[in-house]
Amino acid sequence: MIKRKNIIKVAIDSPAAAGAGTLAKAISKHYKLFYLDTGKIYRFIAFIKLKHPKKFNQNLIKSKIKSLKLKDLENKSLLLDEVGAEASIISKVKAIRKIVHSFQLNFAYNPPKKYQGSCLDGRDITYNIVPDADFKFYITANVKTRALRRFQELKRLKKNITYHEVLKSIKKRDKNDLNRKISPLKKTKDSLLINTTKLTKRACFLKIKKIIDRKLSI
């Protein structure tokens, strides 16, 4: 694989609903980075499985990933709780991860020339997808805060679900993400910990911006 030289690579790992996506988007916009929420790829595949259970196989996945456009990942249905639960299950499948891995690598190391680099967030980005990233962050928050954020997000989408159902789902996803044998969620030693529990979105962004600016100015 050909890699673009002299680009900025930002890698972010986090549990569900910790605010990593919001931060990654803000970082990407500020530094003109090509942004990918890798978790949404698994949600995209999960959505396909739920929509076409009888047709679901590796050939269908490869076909959909090959023709995947970033706008496809903005489908609001991907935020549904059942899609997230299914995404945690299929992300354990080695064959599926291999297909997604190839897509992620190309995205990270070969962003379009109009971008200064790439920014990816997910569960195993800092050690499996972009281990040589210039900046590595582990974004987290306590589980109740994360569940409340996801609940409010779903309510804005007019979804009929309770906070306790969301909390239960988040806890289950955490267990799956942390304990899966293939590429589990974990904080690497060289990743900077950012706890967003008591921080505003703006405060989180400024904290990360300060870290990036300091290194870029050296």
Q: For 61-118, how does the pLDDT look when each residue is reduced to its tens digit (9 = 90+)? A: 999 999 999 899 999 899 888 898 899 889 889 899 999 999 999 999 999 999 999 9
Q: Are strands 8-13 and 135-140 parallel, antiparallel or unpaired?
A: parallel
Q: How many helices (H) and strands (E) does the chain have?
A: 8, 5
Domains in the chain: boundaries: 11-209
Q: What percent of the chain has pLDDT over 90?
A: 80
| Domain at 11-209, CATH class | alpha beta
Q: Are 129 and 104 in contact (CB under 8 A)?
A: yes
Rounded to the nearest 5°, which phi and psi values hold at 16?
-60, 140
Q: Are 108 and 120 in contact (CB under 8 A)?
A: yes
> pTM for this one?
0.89
Predicted confidence (pLDDT) per residue in 161-172, tens digit:
999 999 999 999
Distance from the Cα of residue 45 to its chain's centroid? 14
Q: Which of 8, 11, 20, 7 is nearest to 136 (CA)?
A: 11
